[in-house]
């Protein structure tokens, strides 16, 4: 099973801390402060992007709710208009209103 986003970030933080704690032993394999700093910078960028993404998700939910509300209001207005047209206008002219109803 794939690791969660939070688990991957936690693993990366632990790796950075481990590299910094054992810098001398890891020097021979080119793993030191430079790599730790680069990973930490990536972690910070990921946190920023995650925060931005969560904010956008919240905005999207708000926008979707407003869109749904407006679409429902339009549907209701169209239903009402359709009833009124049927009561007033002869059936032969209903197509002018976009209505293909038979009754």
Model pLDDT, residue 101:
73
Task: Say how many residues make up the chain.
Answer: 103
Q: What was the pLDDT predicted at 102?
A: 73
3-state secondary structure of 89: coil
pLDDT tens, position by position, for the chain (103 residues)? 788 999 999 999 999 999 999 999 999 999 999 999 999 999 999 999 999 999 999 999 999 999 999 999 999 999 999 999 999 999 999 999 999 877 6
Distance, in Å, from the CA atom of 1 to the CA atom of 22, rounded to the nearest integer, reads 30
Residue 70 to residues 59, 62, 76, 82: CA-CA distances in angstroms?
16, 12, 10, 18
Q: What per-residue confidence (pLDDT) applies to 103?
A: 66
């Amino acid at each position: 099973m794939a690791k969660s986003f939070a688990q991957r970030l936690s693993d990366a933080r632990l790796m950075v801390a481990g590299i910094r704690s054992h810098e001398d032993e890891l020097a021979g394999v080119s793993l030191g402060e430079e790599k730790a700093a680069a990973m930490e910078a990536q972690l910070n960028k990921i946190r920023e992007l995650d925060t931005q993404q969560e904010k956008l998700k919240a905005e999207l939910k708000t926008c979707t709710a407003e869109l749904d509300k407006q679409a429902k209001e339009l549907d209701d207005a169209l239903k009402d208009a359709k009833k009124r047209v049927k009561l007033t206008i002869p059936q032969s002219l209903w197509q002018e209103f976009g209505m293909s109803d038979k009754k």
